[in-house]
Amino acid sequence: MNEKQAQILRLKQEKNAVIMAHYYVEDDIQEIADYVGDSYYLSEMATKVTEQTIVLCGVSFMGESAKLLNPEKKVLLPEPEADCPMAHMATVQRIEEIRDIYKDNVAVVCYVNSTAELKAHSDVCVTSSNALKVVKALPNPVIYFIPDEHLGTYISRQVPEKKFIFNDGGCPIHTMITKEDVQSALDKHPGAKVLVHPECREEVTALADYIGSTSGIIDYATASQAQEFIIVTELGVMYELKRRNPGKAFYPTAAYQICEDMKKVTLDKIISVLEQDREGLQMEADFMDKAHAPLKRMLELSR
């Protein structure tokens, strides 16, 4: 453990804080975090921790979700500028237009990678690990899936009984990965299993042996008898993959699989946010109630 990591551990004791991190942040943060996981795990854990302060190491929608699920807790973001571009790729105006057309038949299903504003206008949230279960459990025959058209398309294929309306949005990192990028990795490692995040394009998920969330990918590789894997998501997952599977080999594709926003969070920024110990994320009470409702419904429907 280095000096900065040790300082964080001292500070978090002093401030009664818990460190939560997504699998895409830097290794040295995952190493000292109390909880590391996918978006669903982080949302669920945020409702269970007893510490008064949550330091959320990830992009801003993750901090907002933690705050919405725990209004009475202090939620600190080490780098508030770390933002998921896809979180902004839908509009309230379009949601209202769709509601006008389809009335009660439509459910607006909002991937958690979205702003609190979009959540406040949605019926239910989903993550990549529970989207299928949640969408199937909804009574509505029409689903307006925002903001990610790729996750929406992937889910729609498994729920043919519902009509899906898609939105023109997607993760810049996952959508940049092409089938040629995966194929060139497969050419080098022909026996490897291909593990893909559902934010990828359909031409890429079509090559997968397994499709799932970051946690799903890590669990699949850990349980598998296979020894080699091509990892088709952001490369932060490599830390946990290698930690849990020291004997197995993990290869990236030929694409650039780095989320620069996730990498903006650093040990120095965690130290600074703990030392300053400001009031943390704040939102209007009425707005929080609206944005909290779809997250709460997600947790209920995915249990």
Instruction: Tell me what percent of the chain is helix, strand and coil, each rounded to the nearest 5.
Output: 50, 15, 35
200 binds ligand SF4 (CB under 6 A): no
Sheet holding 53-57, edge to edge: 35-37, 17-22, 53-57, 74-76
Let me know if 69 is exposed, middle or buried by CB neighbors in 10 A (0-12, 13-18, 19+): buried
* Choice from 86, 107, 112, 124 touching ligand SF4 (CB under 6 A): 86
Q: Of the two residues 79 and 234, which places its CB atom closer to ligand SF4 in the complex?
A: 234
Least spacing, CB of residue 104 vs ligand 13P, in Å: 29
Judged by CB under 6 A, the stretch of 34-42, 136-144, 186-194, 284-292 that binds ligand 13P is: 34-42
Q: How far is the CB of 83 from ligand SF4 (least distance, A)?
A: 8
User: Which residue in the set 30, 43, 65, 113 belongs to the binding site for ligand SF4 (CB under 6 A)?
Assistant: 113
- Distances, alpha carbon 124 to alpha carbons 16, 276, 292, in Å: 32, 35, 10
CB of 140 to ligand SF4, least distance (A): 25
Binding mask 144-183 for ligand 13P (x = CB under 6 A): ---------------------------x------------
Residue for token digits 């970051």?
214
List the alpha helices (DSSP H) in 103-237.
116-120, 131-137, 149-158, 172-176, 179-188, 202-205, 214-223
Q: Rounded CA gap, 243 and 226, in Å?
A: 16
Contact set for ligand SF4, span 149-188 (CB under 6 A): 171-174
Given the rule CB under 6 A, which residues bind ligand 13P?
A: 23, 38-40, 113, 127-128, 171, 197, 199, 213-214
